[in-house]
Amino acid sequence: MAFSTRLAWPLRPALAALRQAAPRQCRGLSIPVGPGQTLDLRGIFPPLATPFSPTQEVDYAQLEGNLRRYANIPFRGLVVLGSNGEYPYLAPRERLEVVSCVHQALPRDRLLLAGSGCESTQATIELTVSMAEAGADVALVVTPCYYRGAMTNAALVQHYTEVADASPIPVVLYSVPANTGLDLPLEAVLTLAQHPNIVGIKDSGGDITRMGLMVHKTRQEDFQVLAGSAGFLMASYALGASGGVCALANVLGAPLCQLDRLCREGNWQEARDLQHRLIEPNTAVTRRFGIPGLKKAMEWFGYYGGPCRAPLAPLSPPQVEELRGAFSANGWL
């Protein structure tokens, strides 16, 4: 899915209005980063679903309610404005307001990652700076993809290098070929890992061999690999991944944090048993039913899911039953 190159430019007036309304909202990094220091990305990050009202307006009260519930789960941090946040469907002002809302509610020991990838390098830089000023700790930058045939290794390295050079906060690369049709080349990742302001990658492709090579070949760099799905989380940890940005964490956050802990403690049998029970629910809220399925499942576990923005459509009754079966068959409902 392509992201607009024009949306970043109206952000400055919106940001100014936000800062006037809440002049103390910006905190910078939760964890200081400087020469010789590494930003610790170890742990689980849910990529937050953006809640909408029945009239498809962003529902900030429901967002705050979900955040209060997530505060009781030992997440490393939260991701806003990722694929599961319906980022392409949000207006410029809404994007900043969502970051600001989450920033103000987030405990100070947790990181806030915000999606800032646009199609052009210039727009990505503009949005990244705005997200930093609104309170993001880390920029999550998806690959530009509209002109994917021209997105060579050299073009992508140049794009990310310019963004990282200009960004006031650390950058995490984001490869999500299911949405973009473009896998960030391994060669580009290895080159970009040497940049001092690029601290990691969220890889949602599911190629475990590729992830293992990333970990192995960047072991001399301050660079961390994050699994982009709960379906291959344990396998990623076995190969040295630092953490996971997992849609299923919106629904089963505590079990995913338990899986993270079991892997770190080396309790691989327990970890395997738990991973097995997470595979089908994860597939259901990602590849099978997508964001409408994720939001429906959230409601069964005490969170507000609500509608998606059009043209994303709600699930049909048979789809809801199939979704429920994926959770109940594995002991979650």
The residues that are catalytic are 174, 202
**Rg, Å, the chain Cα set:** 19
For 7, the token pair is 């949306």
Tell me the three-class secondary structure of 201-224, residue by residue: EEECCCCHHHHHHHHHHCCCCCCE
Specify the DSSP class assigned to residue 231: G
Contacts of 262 (CB under 8 A, 6+ apart): 268, 270, 271, 274
For 194, the token pair is 């040497």
Residue among 260, 277, 272 nearest 327 (CA): 277
Q: Rounded to 10 degrees, what is the CA torsion of 229, 233, 238, 240?
A: 50
Question: What is d(CA 227, CA 225) in angstroms, rounded to the nearest whole number?
Answer: 7
* Amino acid in the structure at residue 136: A
Helix (H, G, I), strand (E, B) or coil at 3: coil
Enumerate the H helices of the chain as residue ranges. Answer: 11-21, 60-70, 92-105, 121-134, 153-166, 177-180, 186-192, 208-217, 233-238, 253-265, 268-283, 290-300, 317-328
For 143, the token pair is 């690959």
Decide the pairing of beta strands 77-80 and 171-175: unpaired
Instruction: Return the residue matching tokens 């390098």.
Output: 121
Residue among 90, 87, 84 nearest 290 (CA): 84
Question: What is d(CA 118, CA 219) in angstroms, rounded to the nearest whole number?
Answer: 29
Question: What is d(CA 267, CA 303) in angstroms, rounded to the nearest whole number?
Answer: 30
| Ligand-binding site membership of 245 (annotated) | yes
Distances (CA, A) of 93 to 126, 279, 324: 14, 36, 35
Q: Could you tell me which residues are annotated as the binding site?
A: 245
Annotated binding site for pyruvate: 245
